């Protein structure tokens, strides 16, 4: 039997842009000289060596409203004095590839187990990107800033509802399957695997019944994400408007996706449960192949939805793929950083996951994860110790064990960081 293998790719939206002056404070403000391409994400425990090296000048932090953060790194033993952390909010872009920044915090650290820890509360109204500098005696800090982490603790609930948004005409590969039965199986499996959070209700929505956009999504025409409209994420359907239900996870079910072997995608660390860009997880009932298209077993569709939702809440692949490296550029993040998920060194060496199937060139959304299926069989994934983890990047049809305790704790922590 040929195994289906999923591939995923993520694309950073955090652009490398230059800092631009704004802000007048009595204390000297050290603006980021250049905003690095590297970011820290809430509660991420991957090594992040590259991100860590930019704390003093231009590291990006993804922040959410009313969430308490603790940015920390190893204190440089060679430097007795501790630097001050300055935080800047990214504003609008201006000419010359520059972006406005606004100074929002100046913080002094406390020391804890050989680390410098800076705590702050984000009082933004929306998710945002803040950028760091470290100053010591009015200059950029020159010490080392290894093993940087952004711990986050949010006030939001650990309960999640789901909208399954059936978009256009969806025929299932299995003749006895329909969207109602699929929804039932999806809910059952979300509850089976996401045991650290409460999966409240799963609603089946129909795009053609959307109160304002319904006319754009005829019920009898198969929707092909990326072809029927230019937006692969169909993000205008996110934030489904329904009295009494807001801020659910919106899973858009389409006929298929206009990229070969792509089964689904989401935005890593999207954290957007309220609509707009990044608010959707997209899955297809079929996938595009070089010779046409092929139907997917519902079990694969469900695994895809669960895997992509894991990325949505900030789970990395247990073993990174070459495609991950091409967009993350940080080779220290070859595994997810959890101590209870093994990684597969042989997979990294195998070359199996080296293929980078680029999406359309206008595909520029944040940290996108894309799932590929292929019959490529040059590497037997069963030899990997993490091959049955839900976040393993090559998933076979024969079943998954699910998530580990640390992965589940991570999902719960981040659900409570993402406003809903």
| Chain centroid to CA 283 | 15
Q: How many CB atoms lie within 10 A of CB 299?
A: 15
Closer residue to Zn ion, CB minimum distance, 112 or 401: 401
Touching Zn ion, residues 210-239 (CB under 5 A): none
| Chain centroid to CA 236 | 18
Closer residue to Zn ion, CB minimum distance, 31 or 251: 251
102, two tokens: 């606004």
129 is a contact residue toward Zn ion (CB under 5 A): no
Closer residue to Zn ion, CB minimum distance, 10 or 118: 10
CB of 265 to Zn ion, least distance (A): 9
The H or E element containing residue 415 is helix 405-415
Query: What is the b/e burial string over 313-340, where b = at least 16 CB atoms within 10 angstroms of the residue's CB?
Result: bbbbbbbbbebbbebbebeebbbbbbee
Stretch that binds Zn ion, among 76-84, 237-245, 287-295, 366-374 (CB under 5 A): 366-374
CB of 267 to Zn ion, least distance (A): 11
Query: What is the b/e burial string over 50-69, where b = at least 16 CB atoms within 10 angstroms of the residue's CB?
Result: bbbbbbbbbbbbbbbbebeb
369 is a contact residue toward Zn ion (CB under 5 A): yes
CB of 69 to Zn ion, least distance (A): 26
Closer residue to Zn ion, CB minimum distance, 89 or 369: 369
Touching Zn ion, residues 2-21 (CB under 5 A): 8
The conformation of residue 220, written as its DSSP 8-state character, comes to T
CB of 307 to Zn ion, least distance (A): 6
Residues near Zn ion (CB under 5 A), total: 2
Residues 229 and 282: beta-carbon distance below 8 Å: no
- Indicate the SS3 state at residue 92: strand
CB of 153 to Zn ion, least distance (A): 26
Closer residue to Zn ion, CB minimum distance, 369 or 420: 369
Closer residue to Zn ion, CB minimum distance, 8 or 199: 8
Closer residue to Zn ion, CB minimum distance, 168 or 393: 393
390 is a contact residue toward Zn ion (CB under 5 A): no
Stretch that binds Zn ion, among 54-62, 102-110, 239-247, 368-376 (CB under 5 A): 368-376
Query: What is the b/e burial string over 348-381, where b = at least 16 CB atoms within 10 angstroms of the residue's CB?
Result: bebebbeeeeebeeebebbbbbbbbbbebeebeb
Residues 205 and 167: beta-carbon distance below 8 Å: no
CB of 317 to Zn ion, least distance (A): 5
Residues 211 and 241: beta-carbon distance below 8 Å: yes
CB of 311 to Zn ion, least distance (A): 5
Q: Which single residue brings its beta carbon nearest to Zn ion?
A: 8
The conformation of residue 60, written as its DSSP 8-state character, comes to E
Residues in touch with Zn ion (CB under 5 A)? 8, 369
């Amino acid at each position: 039997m040929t195994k289906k293998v999923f591939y995923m790719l993520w694309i950073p939206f955090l652009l490398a842009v230059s800092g631009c002056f704004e802000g007048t404070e009595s204390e000297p403000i050290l603006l980021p000289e250049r905003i690095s391409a590297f970011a820290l994400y809430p509660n991420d425990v991957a090594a992040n060596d590259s991100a860590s090296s930019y704390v003093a000048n231009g590291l990006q932090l993804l922040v959410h409203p009313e969430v308490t953060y603790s940015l920390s790194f190893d204190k440089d033993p060679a430097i007795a004095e501790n630097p001050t952390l300055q935080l800047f909010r990214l504003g609008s872009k201006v000419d010359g590839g520059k972006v406005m920044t606004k100074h929002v915090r100046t913080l002094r650290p406390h020391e804890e187990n050989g680390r410098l820890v800076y705590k702050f509360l984000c009082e933004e109204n929306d998710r945002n990107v803040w950028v760091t500098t470290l100053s010591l005696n009015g200059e950029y800090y020159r010490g080392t800033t290894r093993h940087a982490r952004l711990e986050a603790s949010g006030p939001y609930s650990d309960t999640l509802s789901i909208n399954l948004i059936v978009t256009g005409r969806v025929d299932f590969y299995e003749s006895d399957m329909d969207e109602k039965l699929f929804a039932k199986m999806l809910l059952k499996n979300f509850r089976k695997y996401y045991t650290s959070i409460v999966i409240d209700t799963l609603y089946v929505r129909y795009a053609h019944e959307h109160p304002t956009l319904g006319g754009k999504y005829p019920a009898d025409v198969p929707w092909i994400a990326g072809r029927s409209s230019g937006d692969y994420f169909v993000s205008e359907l996110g934030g489904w408007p329904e009295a009494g239900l807001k801020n659910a996870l919106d899973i858009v079910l389409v006929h298929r996706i206009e990229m070969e072997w792509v089964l689904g995608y989401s935005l890593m660390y999207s954290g957007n449960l309220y609509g707009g860009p990044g608010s959707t997880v997209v899955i297809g009932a079929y996938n595009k192949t070089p010779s046409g298209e092929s139907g997917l077993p519902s079990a694969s569709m469900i695994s895809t939805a669960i895997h992509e939702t894991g990325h949505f809440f900030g789970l990395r692949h247990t073993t990174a793929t070459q495609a991950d490296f091409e967009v993350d550029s940080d080779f220290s993040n070859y595994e997810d950083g959890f101590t209870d998920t093994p990684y597969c060194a042989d997979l990294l060496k195998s070359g199996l996951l080296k293929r980078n199937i680029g999406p359309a060139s206008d595909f520029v959304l944040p940290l996108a994860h894309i799932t590929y299926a292929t019959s490529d069989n040059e590497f037997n994934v069963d030899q990997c110790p993490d091959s049955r983890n839900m976040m393993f990047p090559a998933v076979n049809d024969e079943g998954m064990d699910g998530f580990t305790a640390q992965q589940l704790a991570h999902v719960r922590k981040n659900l409570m960081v993402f406003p809903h």
